[in-house]
Amino acid sequence: MIRALEMKPGTPVPQAEIPALDQEEFGEAMLALAAQDCRIAALFAAPHPLADPAGRLRIWAVMADDAAGTVWVLRSRAIKGQFHSLTSLLPQLHLFEREIAEEWGVLPEGHPWLKPVRFPPPVPGRASVFGPKNEAVGHMDFFRATGSQAHEVAVGPVHAGVIEPGHFRFQCHGEDVLHLEISLGYQHRGVERALPGFPGPRTLALMETLAGDTTMGHGLAYCRAMESLSGTTPCPEAEILRLVMLELERLANHTGDLGALAGDVGFLPTLSFCGRLRGDFLNLSALVCGSRFGRGMVRPGGVGFGLDRERTALLRERLQATLADVEGAIQVLWDSGTSMRRFHDTGVLSREDATALGLVGPAARASGLERDVRHDFPRGWYEHLRFPIPTRDEGDVFARATVRHLEIRQSVNLILNALSALDPDLASDPARLAPRTAASPPLLARDALTVSLEEGWRGEICHVCLTGPDGSIGRYKVVDPSFHNWFGLALALRKGQISDFPLCNKSFNLSYCGHDL
């Protein structure tokens, strides 16, 4: 009997129903769940009581059971100063425990790789476990290979291309990479610290800009959390439109990624085609809601914009035409022998490593893990659709590119399928689509917890919301898929070529600001 609460994502539960475990029990329960093929979705600390930021801490964990379609929620009794680290037994926790240590000044005892994550400013009233020297972002002790043949290459945080800032430290032997250490935190804005309180229109705006390319993913996860806590159910038309927008976001990003992968090996035709076609998908988002990134589309209780008969037909027609073009552009890439020679066997991440690290999204599926929130934890209109999870076993750049290609086809099918069930008369009725305006936020259940899971285009997005006794948000935890996957990139580079790093990096295409929050 595992002392944890099993629940469906999207159902609110009173916090009192979740058993409070002491340190040993907490560790045993986590390991027992991991032994049943559950993986970590979120691990975080929250003060107890929630309103007292300087109070004692409870550790909360959310483990996802993909096979059963449920999540297990655990919490510890209040701890003081330190807690038992489980990283050496469950490597997928390593970054979560470092995050807790850094945010709350508690020491994970026995953590094998205790280093800062985001270098946030210290919380008043809490000491830093890293001492006072961690003032500037990126200042920490990096792992070093020594010896006359080893050399170190430092890249970033300022890069040659227009990309987000991050620091990469390579330990190399000639052209071979012995180890890569990734140090982020340059984009830390303090999102989670800004969220407690009563949700308002700005909360949604904050969520939509959490990672700019995942507007729909994070916006939807937040709205579902609010709906779950306030007992609202959006109408089916709104759910269909949400699916359409989420899949359009996936289409635009996957198409852009495939183009960029071609660009990184210097193969210009696919780069040029996909650059334009990504814009076509973004324009379809704009066709629905006026924003190419889907800003303002999803809101608690429904969607902000409808879709009339005329635009539905236009959407369907342009979607099919763009898919045909994308297929052509990708076929050119597959037919290019020189590109394929670069893609195959580059940046291999084994299934074992991917499992141990708790990878999510296309990167996990490219290493043979059948994980897809849309399939395993279907919500909204996904409950009505049946589809297989596209996976590959190679775990290399080629596999990650192929999974994206397969998902592009699948997304178009999902959209067309969902649109065929859309009643245009109902879908253009604003009162029906968004019963509640963003200006009048919902009343939330008190002392409750809810877990919200969405499959963003990068992978699983997990939001956990804890409400206080007054029905305000007491603690809001955001886990971007990048938080799980960054270390996967570091492992994929081991024994690889340093000149293949940009290609590997692009094949994961992780978010810096989603990680840094």
Q: Is 241 in the site for another protein (CB under 8 A)?
A: no
How far is residue 66's CA from residue 376's CA, in Å, rounded to a whole number? Answer: 6
- Segment interacting with another protein (CB under 8 A) among 15-23, 83-91, 159-167, 352-360: 159-167
Q: Is 158 in the site for another protein (CB under 8 A)?
A: no
How far is residue 393's CA from residue 507's CA, in Å, rounded to a whole number? Answer: 15
How far is residue 168's CA from residue 149's CA, in Å, rounded to a whole number? Answer: 20
How far is residue 264's CA from residue 327's CA, in Å, rounded to a whole number? Answer: 20
Degrees, nearest 5: CA angle 168-170-173 = 165
In whole angstroms, how far apart are CA 266 and each of 139, 272, 274, 429?
A: 34, 11, 14, 48
CB-wise, 217 or 256, nearer to another protein?
256
Size of the site for another protein (CB under 8 A): 31
Count Cβ atoms within 10 A of the Cβ of residue 125 and give its class: 0-12 exposed, 13-18 middle, 19 or more buried: exposed
Q: Is 502 in the site for another protein (CB under 8 A)?
A: yes
Q: Is 497 in the site for another protein (CB under 8 A)?
A: yes
Looking from the CA of 300 toward its CB, the CA atoms found within 13 Å total: 27
Closest distance of CB 135 from another protein, Å: 25
For another protein, the binding residue among 26, 267, 476, 512 (CB under 8 A) is 267
CB-wise, 122 or 165, nearer to another protein?
165
For another protein, the binding residue among 346, 391, 428, 467 (CB under 8 A) is 346
Q: Is 154 in the site for another protein (CB under 8 A)?
A: yes
- Segment interacting with another protein (CB under 8 A) among 109-117, 269-277, 368-376, 457-465: 269-277
Q: Is 325 in the site for another protein (CB under 8 A)?
A: no
Q: Is 269 in the site for another protein (CB under 8 A)?
A: yes
For another protein, the binding residue among 53, 105, 113, 152 (CB under 8 A) is 152
Closest distance of CB 274 from another protein, Å: 12
CB-wise, 121 or 266, nearer to another protein?
266
Q: Is 341 in the site for another protein (CB under 8 A)?
A: yes
Question: Which amino acid would we find at residue 223?
Answer: C
Near another protein in 164-203, by CB under 8 A: 174-175
Strands 70-76 and 20-21: parallel
Q: Is 144 in the site for another protein (CB under 8 A)?
A: no
In whole angstroms, how far apart are CA 321 and each of 241, 284, 331, 412?
A: 20, 12, 16, 11
Residues 143-154: b if buried by 16+ CB within 10 A, e if exposed: eeeeeeeeeeee
Task: List, in order, residues 6 or more apart from 193 with CB less than 8 Å away.
Answer: none
Q: Is 232 in the site for another protein (CB under 8 A)?
A: no
Closest distance of CB 314 from another protein, Å: 25
CA dihedral sign, ordered 319, 427, 300, 43: negative
- Segment interacting with another protein (CB under 8 A) among 2-10, 44-52, 149-157, 394-402: 149-157
Q: Is 500 in the site for another protein (CB under 8 A)?
A: yes
Residues forming the site for another protein (CB under 8 A)? 151-155, 159-161, 174-175, 262, 264-269, 271-272, 336, 338-339, 341-342, 346, 497-502
